[in-house]
């Protein structure tokens, strides 16, 4: 029942007990994926726990918190064609990684398979799954599931070659909505992404998190991506719609300030998407305006 095609890459920071449980769940999967753990500078003994309790895992300790960029190190250490990203508060059903690998085998231009997300406790369907399932994007012939122009890293299986070809996660974005830029560069290079509900993952949000920081970075990164890749008219419209919906608080003010500070970098790196990709974003915008899965509260 083992499956040598997929490596699981886990990033963690100061969540020793949750990381321990996440690694145990990966070790219990029938696929028995190789596991790479990136300890993003934890100070709670996470690295020691991994060495003692999970000696078969490949541990990478960069010594600092690299955020999502830590996943780049995990992908670089993987030797398998596919990589399953798994946060320390997410896990996959038995057989999910095998199914995703089968789909990636059968569809050579498929770069990302995003799983159905069940929120725990209670196994409730995450509202974002409804949005992904109702994707208005044109579905390429034979593509499984629903076509996407972004994905959720903690519950997605990616094709390693495609990920590395577009440079992985941006060091500048760090963490919080970091997937959008990477997904855009996959799409503009002809890769497909899909939400496949038959591939099932679970998410039990950690209580050890900094929601204000995540919201701040999410707002900033959304604005940076918009001006890095969208045409001028679309960038202006999306910025206006976003700013109108944001709470009037200190977190929003800090996010907007960081976005403005990064504007010179954004303008230097600006590379507008081709019309066919932009058309997809326009279709998604109409649906996302009323989405219950998107809010800016922390």
Please give the chain's pLDDT, 298 residues, in tens.
799 999 999 999 999 999 999 999 999 999 999 999 999 999 999 999 999 999 999 999 999 999 999 999 999 999 999 999 999 999 999 999 999 999 999 999 999 999 999 999 999 999 999 999 999 999 999 999 999 999 999 999 999 999 999 999 999 999 999 999 999 999 999 999 999 999 999 999 998 888 899 999 999 999 999 999 999 999 999 999 999 999 999 999 999 999 999 999 999 999 999 999 999 999 999 787 766 666 656 5
Nearest to residue 18, comparing CAs of 245, 204, 161?
A: 204
The β-bridge relationship of strands 6-12 and 110-119 is unpaired
Q: What is the pLDDT of residue 165?
A: 98
Paired tokens of 260: 């403005």
Q: Who contacts 168 (Cβ-Cβ below 8 Å, separation ≥6)?
A: 69, 71, 72, 75, 182
- Report the sign of the C-alpha dihedral through residues 31, 35, 40, 44, in that order: positive
Nearest to residue 114, comparing CAs of 136, 139, 133?
A: 133
DSSP 8-state symbol, 78: -
Q: What is the pLDDT of residue 295?
A: 63
Homologous superfamily of 6-203: Spore Coat Polysaccharide Biosynthesis Protein SpsA; Chain A (3.90.550.10)
Nearest to residue 186, comparing CAs of 151, 140, 223, 137?
A: 151
Q: What are the angstrom distances between the C-alpha of 291 and each of 146, 212, 282, 286, 294?
A: 17, 21, 15, 10, 6
Q: What is the pLDDT of residue 287?
A: 80
Spell out the domain ranges in the chain: 6-203, 211-288
Burial class (CB in 10 A: 0-12, 13-18, 19+), 202: buried
Q: Who contacts 55 (Cβ-Cβ below 8 Å, separation ≥6)?
A: none
Model pTM greater than 0.75? yes
124 phi and psi, to 5 degrees?
-85, 140
């Amino acid at each position: 029942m083992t499956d040598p095609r997929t490596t699981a890459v886990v990033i963690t920071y100061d969540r020793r007990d949750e990381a321990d449980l996440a690694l145990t769940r990966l070790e219990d999967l029938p696929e028995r994926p190789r596991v790479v753990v990136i300890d993003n500078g934890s100070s709670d003994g996470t690295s020691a726990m991994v060495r003692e309790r999970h000696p078969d895992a490949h541990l990478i300790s960069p010594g600092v918190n690299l955020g999502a960029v830590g996943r780049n190190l995990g992908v670089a250490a993987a030797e398998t064609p596919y990589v399953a990203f798994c946060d320390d508060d997410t896990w996959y059903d038995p057989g999910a990684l095998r199914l995703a690998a089968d789909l990636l085998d059968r569809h050579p231009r498929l770069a990302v398979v995003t799983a159905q997300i069940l929120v725990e406790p209670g196994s409730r369907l995450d509202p974002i799954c409804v949005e992904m399932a109702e994707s208005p994007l044109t579905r390429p012939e034979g593509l499984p599931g629903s076509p996407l122009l972004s994905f959720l890293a903690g519950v997605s299986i990616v094709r390693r070659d495609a990920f590395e070809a577009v440079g992985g996660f941006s060091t500048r974005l760090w963490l919080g909505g970091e997937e959008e830029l990477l997904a855009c560069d996959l799409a503009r290079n002809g890769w497909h992404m899909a939400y496949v509900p038959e591939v099932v993952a679970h998410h039990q949000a950690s209580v050890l998190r900094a929601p204000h920081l995540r919201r701040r970075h999410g707002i900033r990164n959304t604005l940076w991506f918009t001006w890095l890749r969208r045409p001028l008219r679309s960038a202006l419209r999306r910025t206006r719609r976003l700013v109108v919906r944001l709470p009037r608080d200190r977190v929003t003010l800090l996010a907007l300030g960081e976005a403005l500070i990064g504007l010179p970098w954004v303008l230097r790196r600006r590379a507008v998407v081709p019309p066919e990709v932009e058309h997809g974003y326009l279709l998604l915008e109409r649906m996302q305006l009323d989405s219950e899965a998107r809010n800016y509260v922390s």
